[in-house]
C-alpha cells in the first residue's frame, strides 16, 4: 500500500504517469471532476471495503488502563495519558483555541466526496472535501487540511492517503486543496521558495482560512483540533503556514519537507503547536533539495522556539513513508500514526507539551523508527520500493 509521494518533481505513483494538473481532473473514473456548469462532481472512493470494515471501530489507542488523562499507579508513578485527547474536556484554566476565521461572502455548499470550488483572494480554487460517511448527531469533528506534493493534485493525495477510510475510522474532516501552476506564478504548486513572492503565500493562507471558515459554517467542527499536513512541496508550504499563519493550528505534520536554503526560513514567534517531522533518511534528495538537511533545520528551529517535535526517519529516500498497521491491529488505516498525531494534540495543551513525552517508547501504532525529540529516532532498516523522485 502506498501513500504520500514526497517528491519535489515527482509524477506520483509509478502507475500514475499523468502530470496531476487540475485540467486532467475528470479524464478517468478515478479522478474528481468539475462540470462545465460549475457544479461539483463526485470523487471516486477507492476505499469502500476499508470504510465498511472500520467505520464503527473504536479509534482510541490503548496505551494503558487509566480512565483519566493522568492517574497514579499503585507505586505512585504517573501513567501515560489515554489517547486521543481531541474531543476530551480540557483542564480548568487551559487556553482554548481562538475562534475560527469567517468567510467574506456566501460560502459554497460543500459536497463531501466531491471536488468543490470556492472564491478566494487568488480567484477560483478547488479542493476535495471529505467527511465521515455517517456523522453522528452532535459530533464535533476535527479538521485536517492536506497539501499535496509537486507532481500531484488533490485527487492523488486523496487516493494515496486512503482518506475516506481514515476519516471514517478516526472521525475527522479532511480538506485537500489543489495547488496552483506556473502561469499563476507558483512554479512549485505551493509558495515556499525564497523566490516566491510573499503576496502569493498570503493568498494561500487566505485559501486555508476560507476553506476552514466554510467548513465551520456548515458542519459542527472541533476548533481545538485543526491540523495541517503536507508532503514535499506541500510540506514546505505547511511550514510556511504553521510559522506565519498558524494561530488556529493545534498541530502540523511535515513529510519530507523542511526549511532553509532554497526554502523560506521558519518565522519564529507564532503559536507553539507540536510538530511531526518525517523524512526518508540520509538519501532523501530530490531535484535541488536535500530533504534530510532541510528537515533537520526545521527541527532545530521548532525546538529552539518551544515546539515539541516527534521525529520519524525511514530509509526509503524521497518516497512514500512505509507505514504499516501493527500485526495486532490489522484494521487500522495504513497511515494511522499521522492521523493519531493530530488527534493526540488539541490546541489547549500547554505550550511545549506533547502527551507522547510521557511514554518511554511511543505506543502502537508508531513504528520503531519514530521517537520524541529531534535526533532521537533511529533510521528504519528494511526493504523499500526506491525513490519516487523523477
What is the share, in percent, of the chain residues with pLDDT greater than 70?
A: 80
Strand (E) positions, 32-73?
Answer: none
Pick 62 or 244 by higher pLDDT.
Answer: 244
* Residue of 246, 315, 308, 306 lying closest to 277 (CA atoms): 308
pLDDT by residue (tens digit) across 291-316?
A: 999 999 999 999 999 999 999 999 99
Residue 96: all three cell numbers together = 482554548
**Per-residue pLDDT, 350:** 97
pLDDT by residue (tens digit) across 100-157?
A: 999 999 999 999 999 999 999 999 999 999 999 999 999 999 999 999 999 999 999 9
| C-alpha gyration radius of the chain | 19
**Per-residue pLDDT, 189:** 97
Residue 369: all three cell numbers together = 523508527
**Per-residue pLDDT, 21:** 40
Cβ–Cβ under 8 Å, residues 11 and 94: no
pLDDT of residue 72 exceeding 80: no
Pick 249 or 80 by higher pLDDT.
Answer: 249
How much of the chain is helix, strand and coil, in % rounded to 5? Answer: 20, 15, 60
Distance CA 162, CA 156 (A): 10
Listed in sequence order, the residues at least 6 apart from 12 whose beta carbon sits closer than 8 Å to its beta carbon are: 5, 18, 20, 149, 151, 152, 156, 160, 388
From the options 3.30.420.40, 3.40.50.1820, 3.40.50.2020, 3.30.70.930, give the CATH code of 106-372: 3.40.50.1820
Listed in sequence order, the residues at least 6 apart from 333 whose beta carbon sits closer than 8 Å to its beta carbon are: 50, 54, 162, 165, 166, 169, 170, 325, 339
Cβ–Cβ under 8 Å, residues 117 and 38: yes
Distance CA 253, CA 259 (A): 13
Pick 381 or 61 by higher pLDDT.
Answer: 381
Residue 32: all three cell numbers together = 474528481
Residue 243: all three cell numbers together = 510559522
Residue 195: all three cell numbers together = 523566490
pLDDT by residue (tens digit) across 159-205?
A: 999 999 999 999 999 999 999 999 999 999 999 999 999 999 999 99
Amino acid at each position: 500500500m502506498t501513500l504520500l509521494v514526497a517528491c519535489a518533481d515527482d509524477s506520483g505513483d509509478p502507475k500514475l504517469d499523468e502530470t496531476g494538473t487540475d485540467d486532467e481532473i475528470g479524464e478517468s473514473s478515478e479522478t474528481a471532476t468539475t462540470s462545465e456548469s460549475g457544479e461539483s462532481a463526485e470523487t471516486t472512493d477507492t476505499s469502500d471495503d476499508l470504510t465498511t470494515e472500520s467505520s464503527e471501530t473504536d479509534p482510541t489507542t490503548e496505551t494503558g488502563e487509566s480512565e483519566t488523562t493522568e492517574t497514579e499507579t499503585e507505586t505512585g508513578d504517573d501513567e501515560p495519558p489515554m489517547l486521543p485527547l481531541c474531543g476530551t474536556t480540557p483542564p480548568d484554566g487551559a487556553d482554548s483555541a481562538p475562534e475560527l476565521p469567517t468567510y467574506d461572502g456566501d460560502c459554497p455548499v460543500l459536497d463531501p466526496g466531491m471536488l468543490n470550488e470556492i472564491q478566494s483572494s487568488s480567484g477560483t480554487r478547488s479542493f476535495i472535501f471529505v467527511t465521515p460517511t455517517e456523522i453522528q448527531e452532535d459530533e464535533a469533528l476535527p479538521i485536517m487540511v492536506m497539501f499535496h506534493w509537486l507532481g500531484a493534485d488533490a485527487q492523488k493525495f486523496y487516493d494515496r492517503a486512503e482518506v475516506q477510510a481514515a476519516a471514517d475510522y478516526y472521525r475527522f474532516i479532511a480538506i485537500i486543496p489543489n495547488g496552483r501552476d506556473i502561469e499563476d506564478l507558483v512554479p512549485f504548486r505551493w509558495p515556499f521558495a525564497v523566490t516566491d513572492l510573499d503576496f502569493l503565500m498570503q493568498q494561500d493562507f487566505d485559501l486555508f482560512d476560507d476553506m476552514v471558515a466554510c467548513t465551520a459554517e456548515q458542519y459542527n467542527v472541533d476548533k481545538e483540533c485543526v491540523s495541517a499536513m503536507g508532503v514535499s512541496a506541500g510540506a514546505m508550504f505547511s511550514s510556511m503556514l504553521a510559522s506565519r499563519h498558524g494561530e488556529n493550528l493545534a498541530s502540523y505534520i511535515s513529510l519530507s519537507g523542511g526549511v532553509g536554503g532554497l526554502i523560506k526560513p521558519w518565522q519564529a514567534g507564532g503559536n507553539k503547536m507540536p510538530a511531526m517531522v518525517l523524512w526518508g533518511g540520509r538519501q532523501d534528495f530530490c531535484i535541488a533539495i536535500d530533504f534530510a538537511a532541510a528537515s533537520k533545520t526545521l527541527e532545530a528551529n521548532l525546538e529552539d522556539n518551544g515546539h515539541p517535535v516527534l521525529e520519524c526517519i525511514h530509509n526509503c529516500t524521497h518516497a512514500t513513508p512505509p507505514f504499516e498497521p501493527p500485526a495486532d491491529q490489522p484494521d487500522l488505516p495504513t497511515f494511522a500514526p499521522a492521523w493519531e498525531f493530530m488527534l493526540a494534540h488539541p490546541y489547549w495543551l500547554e505550550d511545549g507539551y506533547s502527551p507522547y513525552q510521557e511514554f518511554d517508547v511511543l505506543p502502537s501504532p508508531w513504528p520503531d523508527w519514530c521517537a520524541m525529540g529531534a535526533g532521537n529516532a533511529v533510521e528504519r532498516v528494511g526493504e523499500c520500493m526506491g525513490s519516487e523522485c523523477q
